[in-house]
Amino acid sequence: MRWFLRSKIHKAIVTEADVNYIGSITIDEDLIQRAGFMPGEKVLVVSNTTGQRLETYVMTGKRDSGIICMNGAAAHLIKKGEEIIVMGFELSDKQVKPQNVHVDKNNKFTKFL
């Protein structure tokens, strides 16, 4: 068994960072569905801006809002305006074809990679 990349949202922009909220990352519901994430799923978030990396879980944001909000302690590490990649992984004995979603600067779906 190996860990494979299963889902990715590539080059999203953090629209909000709320240190007073109880942990997680809030993601636009449309992007969650296109990438194949599920609410509560553990994800790796990487900042292309600073190089910070952290694990958290997905929370559903308003559909078509473009929201990408870092919540709780994660908001200290990745801030509003940073460009990020959100990745989900799957443990499998067979290779997994990832669902890679590219977004524009407003976090609107542009294409599958």
**What is the domain-level CATH number for residue 86?**
2.40.40.20
Query: Is 24 in the active site?
Result: yes
- Domain total for the chain? 1
Q: Check: CB of residue 83 under 8 Å from CB of residue 49.
A: yes
Give me the catalytic one of 7, 21, 24, 65: 24
Q: Which domain range does residue 37 map to?
A: 2-112
Mean pLDDT score of the chain: 96
CA atoms within 13 A on the CB side of 88: 26
pLDDT of amino acid 27: 98
The tens digit of pLDDT for each residue in 64-78 reads: 999 999 999 999 999
Q: What is the pTM of this model?
A: 0.93
Give me the catalytic one of 7, 21, 47, 57: 57
What is d(CA 57, CA 43) in angstroms, rounded to the nearest whole number?
6
What mean pLDDT comes out for the span 82-92? 97
What mean pLDDT comes out for the span 91-95? 95
H or E stretch at 6:
strand 2-13
H or E stretch at 27:
strand 24-28
More confident residue, 49 or 113: 49
pLDDT of amino acid 23: 75
Query: Is 21 in the active site?
Result: no
H helix intervals, the chain: 29-35, 74-77
